[in-house]
Amino acid sequence: MSFTAPSDPVNKPTKVKVSQLCELCHSRKALIRRPKNLSKLCKQCFCLVFETEIHNTIVANNLFQRGEKVAVGASGGKDSTVLAHMLKLLNDRYDYGIEIVLLSIDEGIIGYRDDSLATVKRNQQQYGLPLEIFSFKDLYDWTMDEIVSVAGIRNSCTYCGVFRRQSLDRGAAKLGISHVVTGHNADDMAETVLMNILRGDVARLEKSTAIITQSSGSPIKRSKPFKYSYQKEIVLYAHYMKLDYFSTECTYAPEAFRGTAREYMKNLEAVRPSCIIDIIQSGENLALKAKKSNARKRVVKFVDGNRCARCGYLSSNNICKACMLLEGLEKSRAQVAIENDTSADGAALKLRALEKLSF
Amino acid sequence: MECQRCPASARNPATVESRKEKFCDECFIKFVSTKQRKQMMKDEYFRNLFKVIYPFEKEGSVSKILLPLSLSDSGSLVMLDIVHDLLLEQTKQHNNRTGFTVDVLTVFTEENVSVIKERMESLINEKMSQLNKISNIFNVHFIDVNEFFNNASEVSTFIIDNENFEIFSKSKSVDDSNILTLKEILGKYCLNNSSRSDLISIIKTQLIKHFAYENGYNAIMWGHSMTKLSEVIISLVVKGKGSQIATFLDSESFDTLNNKPCKYKNLYPMKDLLSVEIESFLQIRNLAQFLINVEETNVKPNCLIARKSLPSLGQQKLVKNMTINEITNKYFQDIQNDYSNIISTVLRTADKLTQPKSSMAKPSQCQICQSKIYTNPSNWLNRITVTSPYPVETTEEKYLFKQWQDSKLGQSHTHYVELLNEIKQGASNSLDVEDGDVKLCYGCLILLNTSIKDKNLVWPKVDTMDITANATNNNKELSQILDQFEINSDGEE
């Protein structure tokens, strides 16, 4: 009986079935189902499609001007890391002629933001982009950990949202940059459209899907090149491009009501993956009726470009939201403090410590 | 526990608790009826429609109202009950005369025709016999859902080009050999429950509106509760049909059908009532027996005090098998306890919306759902989606591509391409299709692109339907509405 050599299980060439092929090129093995439409794609097609779609969004909306200095709001998370990588890549590939700067805000959440800022610093080295960091402590004399210890965890997103938005503008203004780009993606956009309808936030309804936002009195404009990019696709792209990002969620609880809207969208996606884009399409076509003028009512007209009487930042009211929140916080600030007290250091630090425990 | 609405001297025991108030049966019925009647008197047009106008001989003094009745939905049944009481009141006060006549229209399918007939007969005999004796005030009509397909002399095949999302269509005339049926459409084309439900909803709405158009009604009274309206609004947003919300809720303008003005306005008299209130009303008036799937209806959430402890026994479906409307319904039920004002907020917000500005060169209407088109959906999608592949480079990739071409999968793709080319060819040769015509709204384009097999659908051409029919044609259509199911004003079958 002759000897038959066993087949090599390691170097055996894998045979690709026709049904496993990419639905676009039909010539490479499909690795993923594209979250946007569930089409089966290979890595090359997915990356090309993802990059080109963002380029198309930038060009169609005329987001950048040649010679413009653009600040990327960088948190170290997946969205902003992919955004920084993508802008650098597309700027080189299509020659937008823009100058990119990473702009980070340190909210002062020990155990969370300090770790994510370390990622941003690595990104700075990897992409060779300049980085500027502004902190809540320097701008407002409060850290988020201190704010949460005073105002409670339930309101954390309100304070953080208002201060971070203003900090990005202030930071960009200090650097002489008039364009801030953020990593808001299609999921964020769709969620905002739904939230505005569910909460009846009529004032924000029409503008909730704008890709560029700018007040007439402000030198800073903001844009969202990921407006039509699915969050899952951003994560997949970061994974395939082996990007270095910080993947932990903020330890301060997300808003409960927003959580219900997220859960609802998750269920919808299971039935119709295109629903995120569909919601954005709907959002772009929502128009409000003209208000009936009421002669008896004293109408206080909103003036775009109005400034806060205290800090000079843009505000629709006499005092801006950040100054109002700060005023409330100052009233609650402890008069006497223990030296080197770390009790205000937030839950994030404890969580980090727990994560490092091993048995 | 006592009713908070009864006079202090004679308070009845409370049976219902709603909006933090306790009601006895009688006060609750009055509360619900008042809410509905308030909507029926919301503006001058509707006030004139529903009130008794003297002299009776004056032309148009009695208006014609169409009331679509769905026996699987409590809203329209409760509305019919309240309208019935209003008509009885008017006959008593005005010597058997009323300000309006009501035509009840029920759309049936092959599967539920017998049960619908049986329930309708018992509803008329048990609840509406008194009014039914007075001639011409109250009529009942039935319409087969397949009439939607039988009525058109031409059908169009729509197909989406998967490379640039352009919509192509080809028309052909209908003869006995190629008449479509609902069953065929749902079975052959739809890939999931959501698309089936969407198409059924479009067909039923179109049938009701055509019926109203052809028979010269002054208003259609829809039985949507506040909860149902909010669900529809959110579902429209989710389906990419947000631009249609304002038209859907519009009670101020006359409707249009196939770009032609209609003589009727749409009214939502139940829009101030929550679905739990409607369910409670249904139980108090013992109307649940007339609904289809009555067992299920019995355990729907309501605000009856005696039923409060009953758990909801609704069947738990897998999310993947649910329709978008069902998921939205579940969402509202889940958040109702913690965020009770959401339902009214959604409706109030939607009421503030108007039609968006159109970027179209000429007014267009979707040839499936008949809604106005404001932006070119193909252009919009094409701008944000890339469908071109990464080039085939290596020998192995070329080999795999060849294998794919020769395979069944490649051939089915070829079949799609052939069909697309055939329709493209037909469209350019056809004289009645103008270049650059936008045929579908964004929502229907997405429906075809994601939930319909091979991205193509055959649909009746609405402009070939007999909607401008005169009385004779009208009768022709009505005669097709299964004569044996029509109950005339004398109660005869």
| Residue whose C-alpha is closest to residue B230's, from B369, B353, B329, B356 | B329
Question: Cα separation of B360 and B371, whole Å?
Answer: 14
A273 and B450 within 8 Å at the Cβ level: the answer is: yes
How close A43 comes to chain B (CA, Å)?
9
- Quick check: B466 pLDDT over 70? no
Q: Is residue B437 part of a domain?
A: yes
* Cross-strand partners of A287: B354
| B144: enclosing H helix or E strand | strand B138-144
B389 and A22 within 8 Å at the Cβ level: the answer is: yes
| B63: enclosing H helix or E strand | strand B63-68
DSSP state of B322: S
Peptide bond into A130 cis (omega under 30): no
- Quick check: B258 pLDDT over 70? yes
Q: Is residue B272 part of a domain?
A: yes
Nearest to A264 among B236, B331, B397 (CB): B331
Q: Name the residue in chain A with its Cα closest to that of B235.
A: A279
**Mean of pLDDT values over B241-260:** 91
| Residue whose C-alpha is closest to residue A179's, from A275, A61, A281, A274 | A61
DSSP state of B242: G
* Cross-strand partners of B16: B23, B304
Residues A70, A181 contacting (CB under 8 angstroms): yes
Question: Cα separation of A210 and A223, whole Å?
Answer: 8
Q: Which residue has the higher pLDDT, B301 or A32?
A: A32
Burial of A4 (0-12, 13-18, 19+ CB in 10 A): exposed
pLDDT at residue A203 in the model: 87
CA A261, A271, A210, B234 dihedral sign is: negative
Question: Cα separation of A103 and B328, whole Å?
Answer: 39
**Confidence band of B84 (pLDDT split at 50, 70, 90):** very high
Question: Cα separation of A45 and A268, whole Å?
Answer: 26
Tell me which chain B residues have a C-beta less than 8 angstroms from the C-beta of A49.
386-388
Residues B441, B371 contacting (CB under 8 angstroms): yes
* Count of structural domains within chain B: 1
Tell me which chain B residues have a C-beta less than 8 angstroms from the C-beta of A228.
384
Ranges of H-type helices in B94-146: 113-127, 129-132
Tell me which chain B residues have a C-beta less than 8 angstroms from the C-beta of A199.
345
Question: Cα separation of A158 and A322, whole Å?
Answer: 10
**Mean of pLDDT values over B411-417:** 70
Q: Is residue B492 part of a domain?
A: no
What does pTM read for this prediction? Answer: 0.87
pLDDT (tens, 9 = 90+) of chain A, 359 residues, equals 566 666 666 666 667 888 889 999 999 999 988 888 788 899 999 999 999 999 999 999 999 999 999 999 998 889 999 999 999 999 999 999 999 999 999 988 887 888 888 899 998 999 999 999 999 888 888 888 888 888 877 778 888 888 888 888 889 988 999 999 999 999 999 999 999 999 999 888 888 899 998 876 677 899 999 999 999 999 999 999 999 988 777 777 666 788 888 899 999 998 898 999 999 999 999 999 887 766 565 555 556 667 888 887 777 778 888 888 888 888 877 777 676 666 656 566 666 666 667 77
Instruction: State whether residue A19 sits within 8 Å of chain B by CB.
Output: yes
Residues 328-347 of B with CB under 8 A from A: 328, 330-331, 334-335, 338-339, 342, 345-346
Tell me which chain A residues have a C-beta less than 8 angstroms from the C-beta of B339.
257, 260
Q: How many CB atoms lie within 10 A of CB B437?
A: 13
Top residue of A285, A289, A292 to mutate, by most chain B CBs within 10 Å, is: A285
| DSSP-based three-state secondary structure for B275 | helix
pLDDT at residue B431 in the model: 38
Q: Which residue has the higher pLDDT, B293 or A60?
A: A60
Cβ contacts of residue B154 below 8 Å, gap of 6+?
A: B171, B172, B173, B174, B460, B461, B464
Q: Which two tokens stand for residue A83?
A: 């955004």
**Confidence band of B478 (pLDDT split at 50, 70, 90):** very low
Q: Name the residue in chain A with its Cα closest to that of B393.
A: A27
Residues A348, A112 contacting (CB under 8 angstroms): yes
- Reported as a single tens digit per residue, the pLDDT across B363-407 is 788 999 999 999 999 999 988 999 899 999 999 999 999 988 888
**Mean of pLDDT values over B120-139:** 82
B350 and A197 within 8 Å at the Cβ level: the answer is: yes
- The ipTM (two decimal places) reads 0.88
Instruction: State whether residue B322 sits within 8 Å of chain A by CB.
Output: yes
DSSP state of A215: -
Question: Cα separation of B211 and A150, whole Å?
Answer: 64
The CATH fold assigned to A45-288 is: Rossmann fold (3.40.50)
**Confidence band of B412 (pLDDT split at 50, 70, 90):** low
* Cross-strand partners of B13: B2
Question: Cα separation of B399 and A15, whole Å?
Answer: 12
Q: Which residue range forms the structural domain that includes residue B262?
A: 14-382+412-482
Nearest to B242 among A18, A28, A286 (CB): A286
| CA angle centred on A274, ends A271 and A277, rounded to 5° | 140
Top residue of A271, A277, A280, A292 to mutate, by most chain B CBs within 10 Å, is: A271
| DSSP-based three-state secondary structure for A21 | strand
What CATH number corresponds to the domain at position B377? Answer: 3.40.50.620
Q: Is residue B66 part of a domain?
A: yes
Q: Is residue B230 part of a domain?
A: yes
pLDDT at residue B479 in the model: 45
Ranges of H-type helices in B215-263: 226-238, 245-249
A282 and B241 within 8 Å at the Cβ level: the answer is: yes
